[in-house]
């Protein structure tokens, strides 16, 4: 049976871990250290750590490149490692520990959207198509040779959360189908082209701010690309609100203001307007914007 190490952190990595466990000897699971979460700031285990422990697998959480190298080196006869959204750069000395190297399940059609946030950036850019690519990792940033890839259409209204879930399932299926052929030598990775190259940089705090100088479609794409987490932010009447769902509408609203139209809030921009469909006010849970309006004493205001 193939001896595998798995490196991953968020819930999106779970389908691939489960697929590997079903058909291989998963000798090691590597994930990020527990991180403070919520108002209590208590450390919380990653989804992959929780799953690994439940499955009775060995789980390691190295904090340094040397720690990762040590963890991988401690597994005798390691055939291959599989990486899904691990969240750390893997140094060259660790890449060569498994006999057949490391494979990465990447949620884009490489070379488009190499980098940390491919799903977010595809939606923010308004792409109509994305997919999953399985590559053999090399020293570059998602530059390794390609084993296989599959494209999917981005569905109308799909956000980063729902699209990631869909790509996670597709990625697990692609990896399970290609891994045996790769290990037997029947599937040889092919060099990756740089044609159409784009980079999916990490989402920073400033990326989340809704700029009312942008077009309605640009803003709706930003909201889709950041929902449900970390979410795009719009300052409404002096308070930052997370906007989780929105639509382009044909309403005439003064730029920099919002008004209630047909029971829902509509925001006026320099060129057009958009409707807020789902919102999370500061210190509260997400809710339909109609519910938010019912709790207000006003039906219009300012945005910035």
- Categorize the per-residue pLDDT at 39 as very low, low, confident or very high, splitting at 50, 70 and 90: confident
Separation CA 17–CA 21 (nearest Å) = 6
pLDDT tens readout for residues 66-91: 999 999 999 999 999 999 999 999 99
Q: How confident is the model at residue 200 (pLDDT cuts 50, 70, 90)?
A: very high
Q: pLDDT of 137-178, one tens digit each?
A: 999 999 999 999 999 999 998 999 999 999 999 999 999 999
pLDDT at 19 over 80: yes
Q: Is the pLDDT of residue 252 over 90?
A: yes
d(CA 230, CA 62): 25
- The long-range contacts involving 147-156, CB below 8 angstroms and separated by at least 24 positions, are 147/103, 147/178, 147/182, 147/187, 147/189, 148/174, 148/177, 148/178, 148/187, 149/109, 149/110, 149/174, 150/174, 151/109, 153/128, 153/129, 154/122, 154/123, 154/127, 154/128, 154/129, 154/130
Q: Is-contact 97 73, C-beta < 8 A?
A: yes
pLDDT given for residue 33 in this prediction = 96
Q: Across residues 264-276, what is the average pLDDT?
A: 97
pLDDT at 100: 98
Mean pLDDT of 25-53: 93
Question: Sorting pLDDT into bands at 50, 70 and 90, what band is 245?
Answer: very high
pTM of the model as a whole: 0.96
CA–chain centroid gap for 208, Å, is: 15
Residue 116: count other Cβ atoms within 10 Å of its Cβ.
16
pLDDT band at 36 (very low <50, low <70, confident <90, very high): confident
Residue-level pLDDT at 40: 75
pLDDT band at 37 (very low <50, low <70, confident <90, very high): confident
Q: What is the pLDDT of residue 13?
A: 98
CA neighbours closer than 13 Å in the CB half-sphere of residue 115: 15
> Is residue 38's pLDDT more than 80?
no
Given pLDDT bands bounded at 50, 70 and 90, which one contains residue 41?
confident
Q: Where are the alpha helices (DSSP H) in 197-251?
A: 216-226
What is the percentage of the chain residues whose pLDDT exceeds 90? 97
| Nearest of 67, 18, 16, 61 to residue 43 by alpha carbon | 61
CA distances for 89 relative to 134, 140, 164, 265, 288, angstroms: 17, 10, 21, 43, 39
What is the reported pLDDT for 148? Answer: 98
Mean pLDDT across 85-101: 97
pLDDT value at residue 242:
98
What's the pLDDT at 167? Answer: 98
The DSSP code sequence of 248-260 is EE-----TTEEEE
Rounded Cα distance, 237 and 139, in Å: 48
CB 51, CB 36: distance < 8 Å: no
């Amino acid at each position: 049976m193939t001896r595998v190490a798995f490196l991953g952190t968020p819930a999106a990595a779970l389908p691939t871990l489960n697929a590997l466990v079903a058909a291989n000897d998963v000798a090691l699971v590597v994930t990020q250290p527990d991180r403070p979460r919520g108002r209590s700031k208590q450390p919380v285990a990653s989804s992959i750590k929780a799953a690994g422990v439940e499955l009775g697998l060995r789980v390691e959480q190295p904090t340094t490149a040397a720690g990762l190298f040590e963890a991988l080196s401690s597994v005798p006869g390691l055939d291959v490692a599989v990486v899904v959204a691990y969240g750390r750069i893997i140094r060259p000395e660790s890449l060569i520990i498994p006999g057949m190297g490391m494979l990465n399940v990447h949620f884009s059609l490489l070379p488009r959207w190499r980098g940390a946030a491919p799903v977010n950036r595809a939606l923010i850019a308004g792409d109509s198509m994305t997919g999953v690519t399985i590559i053999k990792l090399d020293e570059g940033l998602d530059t390794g040779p390609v084993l296989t890839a599959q494209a999917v259409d981005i569905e109308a209204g799909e956000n980063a959360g729902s699209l990631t879930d869909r790509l996670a399932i597709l990625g697990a299926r692609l990896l399970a189908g290609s891994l045996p052929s790769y290990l037997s030598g029947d599937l040889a990775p092919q060099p990756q082209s740089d044609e159409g190259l784009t980079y999916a940089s990490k989402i920073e705090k400033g990326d989340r701010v809704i700029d009312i100088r942008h077009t309605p479609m640009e803003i709706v794409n930003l909201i889709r690309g950041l929902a449900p987490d970390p979410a795009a932010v719009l300052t409404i009447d002096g308070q930052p609100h997370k906007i989780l769902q929105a639509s382009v509408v044909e309403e005439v609203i003064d730029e920099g203001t919002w008004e209630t139209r047909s029971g829902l809030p509509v925001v006026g921009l320099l060129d057009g307007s958009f409707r807020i469909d789902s919102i999370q006010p500061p210190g509260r849970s997400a809710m339909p914007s109609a519910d938010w309006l019912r709790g207000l004493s006003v039906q219009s205001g300012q945005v910035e």
